[in-house]
Amino acid sequence: MSSADPVGRTGPHGQKQRPDAPAEAAGLVDAVRQLAGGHTSSTALVAAALSRIEAADPTLNAFRHLRAEAALAEAAEADRRLASGERLPLLGVPVAVKDDTDVAGMPTYFGCDGVLPPATADGEAVRRLRAAGAVVVGKTNSCELGQWPFTEGPAFGATRNPWDTTRTPGGSSGGSAAAVAAGLVPAALGSDGAGSIRIPAAWTHLVGIKPQRGRISVHPNSDAFQGLTVNGPLARTVADAALLLDAAAGPHPGDPHRPPAVDASAAARRDPGRLRVGLALRPPLTLTHTAPHPEVVRAVTALAEALARLGHHVEEARPRYGLIGLSFVPRATAGIAELAAAHPEPALLDPRTRSALRTGTRLGGRVVRAARAREVRQHRRIGAFFDPYQAGHGGGRGYDVLLTPTTAAPPPRIGAFDGLSAWRTDLAITAACPYAWPWNVLGWPGVNVPAGFTRDGLPLGAQLLGPSRSEARLISLAAQLEADRRWYERRPPATGTPATAGEGGPPGAE
């Protein structure tokens, strides 16, 4: 099985590709209920997921590596445990994880080409998912070292968006997003160092949670990308995303960031109360002078109007981001340099990766330490937006939540960034995605929620952003919006061709 065609022309069991895959995956919460009630088996759920992947992956290319035999064996064991009366949060449920996360016995390619040794142990997040009973069916595609908001590369080809297969699902967690949006698995783990969960969630009509730094361990790469990167869930519903977050959350003993525990599933069932929401359509300062696409503005404004109708106080706001990019660039490029320098065959890396390696090496050491030291001041400045004593809005009350677009543009076409230099790629991706990365510098939580569609049927998203350790508030608000907007009722067309009227609903507003 070659790295460029990891699933192959035959399916995970060696059969020829079948066009008639089983019905799409039930949601995570529903699957748990069905298993607990004896209405299905883990073996049936896992086999169906593998069959769906077999049928869809020649088109979508969501998975880099499958573990079909091991997953089916684990499903059979889960069925024995269920029959004996054992119950765990995810016992017997199939899930997928992004290929920057170690799964014992499988290489962690992280979008790279070459021959890499298999991991000798599960990463902490995978260990916790397994402890909760989940069955990991495979690892999903990522762009090389998670650098870009598209999931394409010579090692595996192009991962495609189920809503329109001429478009990217985003990145770098594009494989996880495509797999969940297409109904191949009920939920998947991704990672987010500059929007890499929230961006693909926006472009595939999913809920994507970037948790507080340290909420879900990134061990053995603790403090990944100089503290920028966190792991988090992608799912169709808030409850499903919250359940996966709860199952994966918790520190490794060696982790430097250890926020107090949060019950995300309980938060998804709570009313958020009446909140003060600041709507910020203007992105942070970048060299591209980006303005959001008119359809993005329309969609996010409609979401703000929905929040106001639900009883929240919503007004336009201007967060004081400052020159936060001066802290992001050294940390991001140093993180890429650390991973790229460890690759056994650096000549196989994308020229843009090798350029980032050189930049990151130059900006390492004292420059990175200075960038990280500025985080305390950035917390104070941007935290004033949320502080009731500093913000100076409405009689001294601060905002509870910041609402922004997740991206400035709809999902680009496959190949849109091919052939660009490192500098031009950075300019192009910053123009398309200027909103997400500041929250990685801060280490604070954010949730992408579906915001509707362009008139051509392409998904758009919006971010709910909060201060430190505010996941519960953001998840409660997202769940309230979901109950009102019912975004989970929209599905991409089964063929993966562009949506038209009658296929996944009419294009346009939610």
Number of H helices, E strands in the chain: 17, 13
Structure tokens at 501: 């009227």
Among 41, 176, 196, 355, which one carries the catalytic annotation? 196
Known active-site residue 196: yes
Cβ-based burial of 267 (10 A; exposed 0-12, middle 13-18, buried ≥19)? buried
Known active-site residue 41: no
- Give the total residue count for the chain: 510
Residue of 112, 113, 331, 342 whose CA lies nearest to 220: 342
DSSP state of 301: H
Among 41, 51, 142, 172, which one carries the catalytic annotation? 172
Q: Compute, in degrees rounded to 10, the torsion defined by CA atoms 238, 239, 242, 244.
A: -110
Structure tokens at 288: 């591209």
Residue of 96, 97, 118 whose CA lies nearest to 107: 118
Q: b or e along 66-86 (b: 16 or more beta carbons within 10 Å of the residue's beta carbon)? A: bbbebbbebbeebbeebeeee
DSSP state of 291: -
DSSP state of 38: T
Known active-site residue 172: yes
Could you tell me which residues come within 8 angstroms of residue 36 by beta carbon, excluding any fewer than 6 positions away?
82, 87
Please report, in angstroms and rounded to a whole number, the separation of the first and last CA atoms in the chain: 42
**What is the Cα–Cα distance from 160 to 332, expressed in whole angstroms?**
26
**What is the Cα–Cα distance from 224 to 220, expressed in whole angstroms?**
9
**Amino acid identity for residue 319 in this structure:** P
Among 98, 142, 355, 476, which one carries the catalytic annotation? 98
* Rounded alpha-carbon distances, angstroms, from residue 473 to 110, 263, 411, 449: 32, 11, 28, 14
CB 106 within 8 A of CB 140: no
Element (H, E) at 405: strand 401-405
DSSP state of 388: T
Q: What amino acid positions are annotated as catalytic residues? A: 98, 172, 196
